[in-house]
Amino acid sequence: MDKIIEAKDITYIYPDGTIAVEKANFCLFKGERVAIVGPNGSGKSTFIKLLAGLIEPTEGKINFYGKEKIKERELRRRFGILLQNPDDVLFNTTVMEDLEFAPAQIGMEKKDFIAIMEEIVDLLDIKNLLEKPPFRLSEGQKQRAALASILTMKPEVIF
C-alpha cells in the first residue's frame, strides 16, 4: 500500500507553552479511512492541522507521499479540509462562487471543474442553493455546501 502521510514522534507546543500533541505517530495509507477521536481539548484539531500541513510540528517529522518537503500548492491539491464551522469555508456572495473558488486556487481547468461540480451538486442535492448567499442557508445546507466546495477539488484525502 502507498503511504500518504507518515508522522513520526510529532509534538506541537503552542506559543503559550500548552502542549497540544505530544510524541504522536501516525500513518495513513491510500484507501484507508481513519477517525481521530477524543474529548474536547485533547488536540484533535491541532493534530489534523499538522497532518494536513497547515502547521509545522514543534518536534518530529511528517512525510507526505514519502517526502519530507512538499510544495504547499501540491498539498492543497491533494488534501481537502472540511472545517467544523461551515461559515469558515463559505465566504463568497453565492454558493456557486464558493464552489468555483477552491478549484481555481489549485489551477483546475474550468471545463474539468464544471463536470465535477455538476456531479457533486447532484450527489449532495444542492442545485437549488447555488445562487443563494451562504449566510442565508440553514446549518445543514451550509454543511452540504461546504462539503461540496471540498469535493469539487477531487482531493485524495479529506480531513
pLDDT (tens digit per residue) in 79-121: 888 878 888 888 889 999 999 988 887 788 888 888 899 999 9
Average pLDDT over residues 143-157: 92
Q: Per the structure block, which three cell numbers stand in for 140?
A: 445543514
Domain chopping of the chain, boundaries: 3-70, 86-158
pLDDT value of residue 83? 78
Task: Return mean pLDDT, the chain.
Answer: 90
Query: What is the CATH superfamily name and number for domain 3-70?
Result: P-loop containing nucleotide triphosphate hydrolases (3.40.50.300)
Q: Label the pairing between strands 59-64 and 19-29.
A: unpaired
32 has pLDDT over 90? yes
74 has pLDDT over 80? no
E strand intervals along the chain: 3-13, 19-29, 59-64, 79-80, 157-158
Q: Per the confidence metrics, is the pTM higher than 0.85? A: no
